[in-house]
Structures are given as C-alpha cells and as structure tokens.
Amino acid sequence: MSLLEVTGLTAGYGPARVLHGLDLRVEEGEVVVVLGANGAGKTTTMRALSGLIPHTGTVVFDGRSLDGLGPDAVVGRGVSLVPQGRGTFSHLTVLDNLRVGAALRRDKAGIREDVDRWCSVFPVLAERGGQEAGTLSGGEQQMLAVARALMSRPRLLLCDEPSLGLAPRIVSELFATLADVNRAEGTALLLVEQNADLALDLASRVYLLEVGRVVAEGEAARFREDESIRRAYLGL
C-alpha cells in the first residue's frame, strides 16, 4: 500500500470548487511533483491535504484516513506542510520558529537534538539563531520554513512552491537540500511547482494538473525527455 493515497479529492473555497476529483499517490520515501499553471489547484491541493481547508473524497495516509482532521491532527499523523510564501513567524527568533515546528512533541531532548541537527544542515539558521525571522532574506526564510516543517519528524513533507520568488542559485541550493533530506531521512516529498525543470530533476514521478484535474501522470524521466509532452504541457 502507498504511503499516501488520494481518491476523488474535491475542495474549494465556499461555493467555488477548485479541485474536481483528484487522484494521486505517494510511495514511502518517494519524491513526487505536481506541476501546473497558475490556478490549476496546486495550492488548494496542499491546503486540503494538510487539513487547512475541508475536502470530500478520501485521503488515506499510512493506512489511516485523514478525512475530517484539522491541521494540527494531520501534523500529528506525520504529514507536514511548508506553506507557500514561507509563512515563518516573523516576530519569533529563528530558533523559536523551529521549536514551534515541534509543537506536538513532548521529548525535550529530542527537540533540542533536532534543532541542532537542522541548524547544521542549514548553517544560516545557526548563524541567525537569535534573530527575529522577519529579518531574514527570502531564501533564508524558505530554509527556515523547511526546517520548521521537518521539526515534527514527518514521514511526508508537503512543499507548496518552495522556489517562489527565490534567486535561481538559492533555488538549486534548496532543492539539493531537499534531495539530501529525502535520501538521509527517507522523508517522502510531495511538491507542487511551476519551476518544472528543477522539480523534474528531483522527482521520480509527476502529476500534471489542469483546472483541478490530473491530466497526465508518469515517470519524471519521461516528462524530462519527451519533447511532445514538454511542448504540450510544460511550455518548454
């Protein structure tokens, strides 16, 4: 059985439905990317999966249903979200941001260990540890958002357009770190992206989203190489 199995997911805001029956799955330790243009429903998918907005259809994680759970309960099950546009807590220090990421954990020693660990993976966080997160640059805040999401020791990390608004060099650095985390911790990744090229390098499988539906899926390698797919869907 897959780690995450989504069947017939619909969600939206009030009367406006954005997702019209989405099916996708993520295997244990896998990296999956959801590509799509603006308005395709990428962010809505992430918000629905993480419990920030209600959904219909079924979401099964690790054999248990996530339907009807609030965002804190979803984190408790092992699914953590890196929200779009960083979403760091600008008036908390960098270290306190990380500690909030462990809001559900009670193992003080383990939390301290993890803070130290992510500070060594992202050295800039150690440098800026006592500074308020709002004083960090965009790239640094994105690193912080990823590290904070990892503080709950998730088995699946949802990343909502991590490359948004970042310089290309920072983006490739960030993607390299995500790949490292995936390899070292076995954390599965589900990312939504507009930046197709980098995401395709990182992912093993791809879903292509158009107006709330999956219109194509397959191996990332095929998407990387098949000229007709690239032209038709990715505009490359």
Binding residues (CB under 8 A) for other proteins: these are 50-52, 70-72, 74-76, 80-81, 83, 87-92, 95-97, 99-104, 112, 115-116, 119, 129-130, 145, 148-149, 151-152
Closest CB to other proteins among 15 and 130? 130
Among residues 52 and 60, whose Cβ is nearest to other proteins?
A: 52
Q: Which is nearer to other proteins, 43 or 195 (CB)?
A: 43
Rounded alpha-carbon distances, angstroms, from residue 76 to 43, 82, 102, 138: 21, 15, 10, 28
Contact call for residues 155 and 127 (beta carbons, < 8 A): no
Burial 222-235, CB ≥16 within 10 A → b, else e: ebbeeeebbeebbe
CB of 229 to other proteins, least distance (A): 33
CB of 156 to other proteins, least distance (A): 13
- Given the complex with other proteins, which of 70 and 165 has the nearer CB atom? 70
- Least Å distance, CB 186 to other proteins, is 21
